A and B are shown apart, each in its own frame.
Chain A
Amino acid sequence: GAGVSQSPSNKVTEKGKDVELRCDPISGHTALYWYRQSLGQGLEFLIYFQGNSAPDKSGLPSDRFSAERTGGSVSTLTIQRTQQEDSAVYLCASSLGIVRRAGNEQFFGPGTRLTVL
């Protein structure tokens, strides 16, 4: 089946605008993760979904960032009033998310490259 897909692949926006980034996980994967990767940096965890709920939002950098997931599938990451420091590649990953089962591999999407001018 299809892997994790993300759209758009590239987004250029002006400072102060809102943006929405979309993630389509692998069908049947209940766990979904958002990460941010800035130039030359490692992966920064943003938020984790199990089904439609988000038990861990601890990585969201500010209240300008929010995310939702509907139907246990598609997720949208919204950044309001974008700032230049938000420029990064935003990666989404999904996994089977089976509780108490070890070794749930994450499958990553290709990412959305966000540039804030």
Chain B
Amino acid sequence: AQSVTQLDSHVSVSEGTPVLLRCNYSSSYSPSLFWYVQHPNKGLQLLLKYTSAATLVKGINGFEAEFKKSETSFHLTKPSAHMSDAAEYFCVVTGTGGYQKVTFGTGTKLQVIP
């Protein structure tokens, strides 16, 4: 069984300040973890992914995430928020077994205040 919990449904930050979007997961297998972003009226786009290589993963647009097995977390961070980062962010877990079931978190809406 696997699940994903995004701890915050909404996060609001000022432009230029750090961003932290939290994600915790559970999985019976060694998981793969992803962050996707969805801008208003746009499709879902992959930000970054973890697949058991380096635990600190760098993605597009300055985002990165760290896989912490002991904490079962995969939090998304960015040092300095930009107005264009305002969007909804989804944490996703998949297994690596015969069926790669995909489980999405409920999403976190990021608001960036000028």
Q: Which residues of A contact B (CB under 8 A)?
A: 31, 33, 35, 41-43, 45, 48, 50, 55-56, 91, 93, 95, 97, 99-106, 108-111
Given contacts A102-B51, A106-B102, 16 further A-B contacts (CB under 8 A): A41-B106, A42-B105, A43-B90, A43-B104, A45-B103, A48-B101, A48-B102, A95-B100, A99-B100, A100-B97, A102-B32, A103-B49, A104-B32, A104-B100, A105-B49, A106-B46
Residues of chain A within 8 A of B103, CB atoms compared? 45
CB-CB nearest in chain B for A58: B101
**Total inter-chain residue pairs, C-beta < 8 Å:** 61
Q: A91-B44, A103-B32 are in contact. Are A42 and B99 (CB under 8 A)?
A: no
Count B interface residues, CB 8 Å: 27
- Contact of B43 with A105 in the complex, beta carbons under 8 Å: no
Residues of chain A within 8 A of B34, CB atoms compared? 105-106
Residues of chain A within 8 A of B46, CB atoms compared? 105-106
Residues of chain A within 8 A of B104, CB atoms compared? 35, 42-43, 45
Measured in the bound complex, the distance between the Cα atoms of B96 and A91 in whole Å is 23
Asked whether any CB of chain A lies closer than 8 Å to the CB of B40, the reply is: no
Residues of chain A within 8 A of B101, CB atoms compared? 48, 56
Q: A102-B51, A103-B51 are in contact. Are A108 and B43 (CB under 8 A)?
A: yes
CB-CB nearest in chain B for A96: B100
